[in-house]
Structure 1
Amino acid sequence: MSSSVGPTATPPAGPRAGGTRAPRNKGWVSGMVLFAGVVMLVNGILEVFHGIMAIAEDDVFVSTPRYVFRFDLTGWGWIHLVIGVLVALVGFFVIQGAAWARIAGIFLASLSLIGSFLALPYYPLWALVIIALDVFVIWALCVYRED
Structure 2
Amino acid sequence: MLQVVILARIIPDEEQAKSSAAGIKLLVDLLQDSRSEEVQALAADCVASLTHTRAGVAAAIVAINAVDHLCQMLLSEAEQVRGTAAIALGYLSHDHKGERLILQRCRTDPYLMKVIRYYTKRIRLAPTFTEGWQHYRKVGLPPIP
**What is the TM-score normalised by the length of structure 1?**
0.31
Structure with greater helix percent: 2
Larger radius of gyration: 1
**What is the TM-score normalised by the length of structure 2?**
0.31
